[in-house]
Amino acid sequence: MYAVKEDNPPVILKTQLPLLPKPPISMIPINYSSVLRPKNVHKYRAVIKVLRYGAKSKRFSTRIRTFFGSTLCKVRFFMTWISSLESFGDRELFAIESLFKFHPNACLVIVSNSMDSKKGSLFLRPFLDKGFKVIAIKPNFDYIFKNTHAESWFNELNKGDVDPGEVSLGQNLSNLLRLALLYKFGGIYVDTDVIVLKSFGKLRNVIGAQTIDLETGNWSRLNNAVLIFDKKHPLLFKFIEEFALTFNGNKWGHNGPYLVSRVVSRVYGRPGINFTVLPPSAFYPVNWSRIRSLFRGPGDKLHSKWLHRKLEQIRSESLAIHLWNKQSRKIKVENGSIINHIMLDSCIFCNSSSLNLLQYNQK
C-alpha cells in the first residue's frame, strides 16, 4: 500500500472510530408521487431529459467491452461528464492529461452523452494521436444499473415515483454512475477536476478522507471524487444500496460525500469488507474554502516562502489534488502559483498545454 503522510500536525487515521453521527436510515424506498403535480413540472422535465440522455444507448455494452478487450489496460479509469460540451474546458482537459502522464498504459472511459459526439471527439483526438487509450461512450442506464439496487431506483424514477429534488439530477446521477461502473467493471473513478500527481498503481480498494478531527485523528468526512475498487466489491454494493434506499434530491452531498461517509461509518471492521481510508493529504490536500490560494502567484517574500513549502508538501505527500469544481472554475492560474508548478509537473502537451490542446481542437 502506498504510504501517505498526514498534514501537520501529525495524527493517526482511525477509521474504526468514525466521528460522523449515524443518521436514521429508512430501509423502505420513499415514494414521491407528487413529482407530477403542476408545481413540479420543471422537475419532471429534468427527469425526462436524463432518461433521454441514456435510455437508448444500446451500443454501450458492446463498445465498452470491445474497448477493454482490444487494448492492453494496466488499469481502468472512469470519468463521467453530464454537462454540455461547451462546459468541458481547460481544467477538464488537463485532468485527462495528468491522468495519462502518470498512467500511460491506462484505459480511460468517459461516460458522457455530449462527449460521445463528433465535436466531443475533437477534444480527445490529441490523446489518441499520441497513442493513449481513451473513449467517450453514451451510457445505457439499464445495462449499467442491472442487478443492483440502482436498477429499482432508476425504474421508480422512470415511472415518476422519485422526486428528483432541487439539487441537479445530473449531479446525483453522476454520484450513482461512478459507483455502478466500478461495481460492474472495477478500476478507478476520478472527477474531471482531479489533477493526478503520481501513479495510483499500488492502490487497491481505497477511498480518501476529506477532513479529519485534529484532536482525535479520526476522519470526519470522506469524499467520492476518487474511488479505487475491485469489481463487485461489497462496499460498492453498500454504497449503491444506500443511494437507492435513502435518496434525497434536496440536500447537497447527501447522495455523494455524505453517503460514502455514512456507509463507511457503519461497516468499517466488518469481515469481508476490506478497504483503506487514506488521509486528506492523499487526494484533498487543500480544503474547498482555501483552493484559491493554490492559484495565486507569489506576493511578498513571506508569501513566496509559504508557496514553496506548500508546493513541496503536496509534491511529497499527495497523489492528486481535487480542485472543488465551481470553487476553482473561473480562477486564473497566475505565474509562479502552486497550480502553475503542478501543471508543469503533470503535463504531456507542455508549453502551455491547455492552450495547445485548444488550438489543436480548433484545427
Cβ atoms of 190 and 284 closer than 8 Å: no
What pLDDT is attached to residue 112? 94
> How many domains does the structure of the chain reveal?
1
Residue for cell digits 440502482? 150
Say if 302 falls within a structural domain.
no
Please provide the DSSP assignment of 219-282 as one string: EEEEEEEEEEE-TT-HHHHHHHHHHHHH--TTSTTTTTHHHHHHHHHHHTT-TT---EEEPHHH
The answer to whether residue 155 is domain-embedded is: yes
Collapsing DSSP to helix, strand or coil, 307 comes out as helix
pLDDT-based confidence at 18, cuts 50/70/90?
A: very low
Q: Which domain holds residue 64?
A: 42-283
Q: How far apart are CA 208 and CA 190, in angstroms?
A: 12
- Of 12-26, 62-76, 279-293, the one with minimum mean pLDDT is 12-26
pLDDT at site 107: 95
Contacts of 273 (CB under 8 A, 6+ apart): 234, 235, 238, 267
Q: Residue 344: count other Cβ atoms within 10 Å of its Cβ.
A: 11
Q: Quick check: is 343 in a domain?
A: no
Q: Determine contact, residues 54/82, Cβ cutoff 8 Å.
A: no
> Does 194 score more than 80 pLDDT?
yes
Residue 222 lies in a domain: yes
Q: Is 69 exposed, middle or buried (0-12, 13-18, 19+ CB in 10 A)?
A: exposed
The answer to whether 208 and 277 have CB atoms below 8 angstroms apart is yes
Asked if the structure places residue 80 within a domain, the reply is yes
Q: How confident is the model at residue 70 (pLDDT cuts 50, 70, 90)?
A: confident
Q: Is residue 3 part of a domain?
A: no
Q: Where are the beta strands (DSSP E) in the chain?
A: 76-80, 107-111, 133-137, 187-190, 194-196, 206-212, 219-229, 276-278, 320-322
In a domain, 273, yes or no: yes
CATH number at residue 98: 3.90.550.20
Domain assignment present for 325: no
CA atoms within 13 A on the CB side of 91: 22
CB 182 within 8 A of CB 236: yes
Q: For the whole model, what pTM was predicted?
A: 0.83
Give the strand pairing for 194-196 and 320-322: antiparallel
